[in-house]
């Protein structure tokens, strides 16, 4: 906290989620040590990506993998790879001992995206009920998103009717797996038409089994966040899948001068993500869940009988393919107070440390929702203390 204190940056207790505005998650201490050690030496970045990628591929049941600057960047690079499939760029491989010379045909094709897509497959089919703010990642590569179905529903015919000679890939969002056409059906369509699938799997962890599940099912390119549940560096992600497509992505990413040049990851981030993933797969889902449930139980037990508390519940939401964490929902009887529930949330937020919670969440309309996923040791005690101070009990 010393640097934060000197800068005047307020500490935050995270009762929301692994959200980017709060730095996603807290990096595991062993990860920081690995990054510190890595920072002392020079290496060939392509060599490191390839060697680290081999280990990551084994852990994700993929043919190959690379570390990207977040899941969003992984989606962009996956899209670029699918767009360049079948072009002359598909014939080139990376040199692992020294940087390849960027000139001639390789360089000219590497520089085409995102604007020069004439003669290149540049359409990504996405169920309209899967469209979200991260869909922009596909457009960054120069692709056009072709929505299938409506905002409420989609069927197999809706997807198949959008397939044409310009289709580069079909995208699927794990967070919205409960909407529209299932992943199994999308896989069937993709194999029938020889079109690769790009899966946004950022919100499919935990459970840890999902690290290998999508590759086993035959998904061509899978994108994960490295800085959320895995607890790697915040600005890292994983792109894993078919070797030829992963290679096409790597060719267009830093240190090369393709569309992904700006998505730079350095040697410390690659090693940090690898170390975090190795730690993550050795940990136990149930043990991790039980730890969070204990914190939720502590909060629930200590606010249940406070004056003005109408209802307290512990819930475990499930979104798409993601197993949720225990959350505490709190409803207040506002007649006991001279302030509203929203003002309670604001006071938690503006205190020091600031406590971020959800207000009027779908799990607790008009109330407060506190997610235990990112509560550090002892922070549940601070949450209770602050609530007692605010509620005056």
Q: What is the pLDDT of residues 142-174, one digit of tens each?
A: 999 999 999 999 999 999 999 999 999 999 999
Domains and CATH numbers, the chain: 24-282 (3.40.640.10), 284-391 (3.90.1150.180)
Q: What is the pLDDT along the chain (393 residues), one digit of tens a residue?
A: 688 888 888 999 999 988 888 777 888 899 999 999 999 999 999 999 999 999 999 999 999 999 999 999 999 999 999 999 999 998 887 777 666 667 778 888 989 999 999 999 999 999 999 999 999 999 999 999 999 999 999 999 999 999 999 999 999 999 999 999 999 999 999 999 999 999 999 989 989 999 999 999 999 999 999 999 999 999 999 999 999 999 999 999 999 999 999 999 999 999 999 999 999 999 999 999 999 999 999 999 999 888 899 999 999 987 666 668 899 999 999 998 999 999 999 999 999 999 999 999 888 999 999 999 999 999 999 999 999 999 987
- Give the largest CA-CA distance in the chain: 75
Residue 368 pLDDT = 94
d(Cα 303, Cα 384) in Å, to the nearest integer? 7
Residue 320 pLDDT = 62
Residue 322 pLDDT = 62
pLDDT digits over 59-88, tens only?
A: 999 999 999 999 999 999 999 999 999 999
Residue 81 pLDDT = 98
H, E, C per residue of the chain: CHHHHHHCCCCEEECCCCCHHHCCCCCCHHHHHHHHHHCCCCCCHHHHHHHHHHHHHHHHCCCEEEEECCHHHHHHHHHHHHHHCCCHHHHCCCCCCCCCCCCHHHHHHHCCCCCCCCCCCCEEEEEHHHCCHHHHHHHHCCCEEEEECCCCCCCHHHHHCCCCCCEEEEEEEHHHCCCCCCHHHHHHHHHHHCCCEEEECHHHCCCCCHHHHHHHHCCCEEEEECCCCCCCCCCCEEEEECHHHHHHHHHCECCCCCCECCCCCCHHHHHHHHHHHHHHHHCCHHHHHHHHHHHHHHHHHHHCCCCCEEEEEEECCEECCEECCCEEEEEECHHHCCCCHHHHHHHHHHCCCEEECEEEECCEEEEEEEECCCCCCCHHHHHHHHHHHHHCC
Residue 319 pLDDT = 66
Residue 382 pLDDT = 96
Residue 24 pLDDT = 79
């Amino acid at each position: 906290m010393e640097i934060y204190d000197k800068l005047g940056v307020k500490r935050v207790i995270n009762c929301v989620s692994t959200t980017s505005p709060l730095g996603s998650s807290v990096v595991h201490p062993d990860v920081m040590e690995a990054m510190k050690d890595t920072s002392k030496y020079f290496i060939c970045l392509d060599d490191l990506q390839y060697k680290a990628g081999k280990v990551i591929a084994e852990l994700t049941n993929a043919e190959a993998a690379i570390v990207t600057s977040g899941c969003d960047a992984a989606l962009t690079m996956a899209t670029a790879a699918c767009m360049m499939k079948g072009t002359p760029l598909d014939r080139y491989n990376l040199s692992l001992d020294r940087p390849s010379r960027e000139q001639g045909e390789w360089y000219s094709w590497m520089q085409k995206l995102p604007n020069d897509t004439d003669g290149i497959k540049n359409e990504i089919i996405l169920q309209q009920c899967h469209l979200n703010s991260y869909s922009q990642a596909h457009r960054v590569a120069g692709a056009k998103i072709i929505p299938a179905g409506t905002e409420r529903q989609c069927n197999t015919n809706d997807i198949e009717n959008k397939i044409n000679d310009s289709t580069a890939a079909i995208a699927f969002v794990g967070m919205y797996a409960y909407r529209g056409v299932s992943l199994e059906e999308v896989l069937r369509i993709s194999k029938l038409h020889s079109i690769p699938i790009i899966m946004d799997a950022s919100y499919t962890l935990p459970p840890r089994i999902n690290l290998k599940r999508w590759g086993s099912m035959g998904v061509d390119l899978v994108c994960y966040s490295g800085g959320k549940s895995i607890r790697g560096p915040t600005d890292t992600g994983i792109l894993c899948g078919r070797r030829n497509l992963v290679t096409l992505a790597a060719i267009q990413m830093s240190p090369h001068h393709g569309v992904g040049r700006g998505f730079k990851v350095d040697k410390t981030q690659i090693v940090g993500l690898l170390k975090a993933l190795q730690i993550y797969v050795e940990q136990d889902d149930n043990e991790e869940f039980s730890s969070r449930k204990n914190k939720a139980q502590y909060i629930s037990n200590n606010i249940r009988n406070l004056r003005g508390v109408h209802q307290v519940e512990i819930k475990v939401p499930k979104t798409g393919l993601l197993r949720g964490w225990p959350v505490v929902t709190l409803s207040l009887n506002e007649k006991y107070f001279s302030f509203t529930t929203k003002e309670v949330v604001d006071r938690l937020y503006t205190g020091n440390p600031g406590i971020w919670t959800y207000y009027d969440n779908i799990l607790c309309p008009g109330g407060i929702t506190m997610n235990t996923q990112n509560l550090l040791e002892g922070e549940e005690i601070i949450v209770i203390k602050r609530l007692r101070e605010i509620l005056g009990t």
